[in-house]
Amino acid sequence: MAELFIYGIVLGSIISLGAIGLTLVYGIIRFANFAHGDFLTAGAYIALFMVTGVLSWIGIPDSNFGSLSFGWRMALAFPFSMLTVGCVAIVLDRVLYRKLRQKGSGAVIFAMSSLGAAFIIRMIIFILWGADSLFYRPGIMRPALELPLGIKIRPDQILILLLVVFLITLLHFFLQNTKMGKAMRATADNMELALISGIDTERIIIWTWGIGGALAAAGGILYGIDVQLHPHMGWNFLIPLFAATILGSIGNMYGALIGGLIIGVAQQVSTAFLLPTYKPAVAFIIMIVILLIRPQGIFGGRS
Amino acid sequence: MEIGGILAYLVSLAIMAGIYAVFCLGLNIQWGYTGLFNIGIAGFFCIGAYASAMITTPKPTGLYAHYVHQIFGLNLPFVMGLLGAALICGIVAFLIGIPTLRLGEDYLAISTIGIAETFRLIFNNEHWLANGPRGLMGLPQPFQGLVDPKHYNYIYLIIIVIIVVIVYLSIERAIRSPWGRVLRAIREDELSAAMSGKDIFHFKMQSLVFGSMVMGIGGALYAHYTKAISPDVFTPLYGTFIIWVMLMAGGSGNNKGAVLGAYVIWFMWTGTTFMTNLLPYTLKARAPYIRFLLIMILLEIILIYRPRGLLGEEKKVSKLVD
């Protein structure tokens, strides 16, 4: 059980990365981005393309860092993929959502457009990589460390946790201390007031998409390192992401972090009683319960 | 033979498009007239199909029961299957409406996705319920002994047309009634509808349940057409998004548009098979993805450049006015 709990924290930290991006987009641009799960998938596959393609072609050595399952190739592919997916998110906004904003379309049209975008991303991945599960490094030995209480944990998983903590700390300082971060929080609080104070909301929107996309990419890669890559991986994350976002109150970054951890732990611990394939259903049930008893989420805020 | 073959092919296309037309009409009640964002159509598709399958088939007995697990089998006629599918879908829609319809439209959307995925998982994993991933086979078809099985599709097409007409007329009738006017008032401006003393939640609930019941009938029609169902049929792509593209293309808020969209998109969709057959061998296995990519790009173009679809919304006030 303690082991499942730790694995739940690892999974939850990955969900948190996605949910933070989702909640920022939800809070600032005001629409449910159903393509967010597929940003995770895109990030994971772009890193795969770099690791097995470009970086091996230009001759980056294939050795591992210590007992981790990856090395310099992944270290380079990781930020590259974050950057690329951030750009993909911004391009989608320029090509699709900005046009809809200019036409004054309703919130649901945005959501539907993002669903279309989700499938466009997924179909491109299916076309390029096929429908099989893939690994960054197939057939690797995965040595586990023994912790007290009989918990076995892989060095990769420890690194995942450290990386998530690092990225979230970075985001925290960005939002609290930079001008852009403050402007983003102001826009999330009250879009009209932000406009009146002379904040350029189009710039805010671009930054929000960039950050949301980059964090999602990071989550996708980390899941790929921890488990595997599959074109449907992001779709399976979609319900947990929304559950975490709603649980932690929409627009609240710290809420999304906590929500992600709760959903991750609940999903992993449920495998002690249920088939692991039911993980998305567990997240769904939690979400329904939250909607019934506290639809505004645990951190209050806007209902 | 050639003419006969082409005709038989067109009939099978028309049947599938007709089944999709039923889904489009159901979605049109929810989205076109009330603005409810249901993106879990596949869930109601799945429930309707399984409900009708289990109502119309007998429970397996003897040796057969070792291979096919099914929680119940009522062996009732086809019509009971349709009604049962509608009833069960209505109940599920009611349950999902309770936590979500008082909240913003996104909540209903994500919850319906959740329902669709959850039911697919349940039917896949619970072998005792409906035979797990292998699904159910040998579903009965109405008036089966009437003609040569080779020509049975003509009879099924007639059944589909009759049901599409019944559903179409009943929605048209409902939407021109005071009830229909309230739905459209809610879609246009929830606040002013509420201020006119309308109970938004109840009207939304009725629309959600009505639309989902129609979708249940669609699921049942599909099940008895293919005679075999398994959980992997009811994927988000085939079960939900193609229906959305059909309704958006035809014109949401217009029942003629819903039917037209189903036929246009289904013929386009099958037409692209001929196109992808020209692809080099290595790409052929991935052809369905290329076709879906094209359909999704079409959806984005419709959303941006022609959100009203081919026909656009018809002005409908009352059955007394037009």
The average confidence (pLDDT) of chain A is 88
CB atoms within 10 A of CB A91: 12
Confirm if B183 and B207 have CB atoms less than 8 A apart: yes
Q: Which residue range is the domain that position A173 belongs to?
A: 2-293
Q: Which residue range is the domain that position B141 belongs to?
A: 2-235
CATH of the domain at A187: 1.10.3470
Q: What residues of B are in contact with residue A107 (Cβ under 8 Å)?
A: 104-106
Would you call B301 an interface residue with chain A, using a CB distance cutoff of 8 Å? no
Half-sphere exposure of residue B296, counting CA atoms within 13 Å on the CB side?
26
pLDDT tens for B260-269 read 999 999 998 8
Residue A298 placed within a domain:
no
What global pTM score does this model have?
0.89
For residues A215-234, average pLDDT: 92
Percent of chain A with pLDDT over 90: 47
For residues B60-83, average pLDDT: 81
DSSP A30: -
Residue A285 placed within a domain:
yes
For residues A48-55, average pLDDT: 87
pLDDT tens for A182-223 read 888 888 888 788 888 888 888 889 999 999 999 999 999 999
Confirm if A155 and A67 have CB atoms less than 8 A apart: yes
Q: Can you give the length of chain B in residues? A: 322
3-state secondary structure chain B: CHHHHHHHHHHHHHHHHHHHHHHHHHHHHHHHHCCCCCCCHHHHHHHHHHHHHHHHCECCCCCHHHHCCCCCCECCCHHHHHHHHHHHHHHHHHHHHHHHCCCCHHHHHHHHHHHHHHHHHHHHHCHHHHCHHHCECCCCCCCCCCCCHHHHHHHHHHHHHHHHHHHHHHHHHHHCCHHHHHHHHHHHCHHHHHHCCCCHHHHHHHHHHHHHHHHHHHHHHHHHHHCCECHHHCCHHHHHHHHHHHHHHHCCCCHHHHHHHHHHHHHHHHHHHHHHCCCCHHHHCCHHHHHHHHHHHHHHHHHHHCCCCCCCCCCCCCCCCC
For residues A43-66, average pLDDT: 84
Residue A301 placed within a domain:
no
Mutate to test the interface with B, among A101, A247, A287, A288 (most CBs of B within 10 A): A288
Dig out the tokens for B167 from the structure: 């559903």
- Based on the structure, what is the number of domains in chain B? 1
Residue B126 placed within a domain:
yes
Residue B224 placed within a domain:
yes
pLDDT tens for B290-307 read 888 888 898 899 888 888
pLDDT tens for B218-254 read 999 999 999 889 888 888 888 888 999 999 889 888 8
For residues A80-106, average pLDDT: 91
Residue B222 placed within a domain:
yes
Confirm if A14 and A240 have CB atoms less than 8 A apart: no
Whether residue A303 is predicted with pLDDT greater than 50 in this model: the reply is no
A90: left (phi over 0), alpha (psi -120 to 50) or beta: alpha
Using CA coordinates, name the residue in chain B closest to A278.
B121
pLDDT tens for A113-161 read 999 999 999 999 999 998 888 888 776 656 677 777 777 888 888 899 9
Whether residue B20 is predicted with pLDDT greater than 90 in this model: the reply is yes
Q: What residues of A are in contact with residue B285 (Cβ under 8 Å)?
A: 130
Whether residue B68 is predicted with pLDDT greater than 80 in this model: the reply is no
Residue B91 placed within a domain:
yes
Half-sphere exposure of residue A213, counting CA atoms within 13 Å on the CB side?
25
- Based on the structure, what is the number of domains in chain A? 1
Higher pLDDT, B151 or A241: A241
Residue B163 placed within a domain:
yes
- Helical ranges in A50-154 per DSSP H: 55-57, 72-92, 98-103, 107-129
Residue B90 placed within a domain:
yes
Q: What residues of B are in contact with residue A124 (Cβ under 8 Å)?
A: 293
Would you call B20 an interface residue with chain A, using a CB distance cutoff of 8 Å? no
**What is Dmax (Cα atoms) for chain B?**
65
For residues A42-55, average pLDDT: 90
Whether residue B211 is predicted with pLDDT greater than 90 in this model: the reply is yes
Residue A303 placed within a domain:
no
- Helical ranges in B73-104 per DSSP H: 78-100
By C-alpha distance, which of B64, B66, B22, B62 is closest to B44?
Answer: B22
Q: How confident is the model at residue A12 (pLDDT cuts 50, 70, 90)?
A: very high
Residue B300 placed within a domain:
no
CA distance B125 to B130: 10
Residue A252 placed within a domain:
yes
The average confidence (pLDDT) of chain B is 87
Residue A41 placed within a domain:
yes
Pick from B107, B286, B299: CB nearest A116: B299
Pick from A113, A281, A292: CB nearest B118: A281
The reported pLDDT for the residue numbered B14 is 94
Residue A133 placed within a domain:
yes
CA of residue B231 relative to chain centroid, distance? 15
The reported pLDDT for the residue numbered B319 is 60
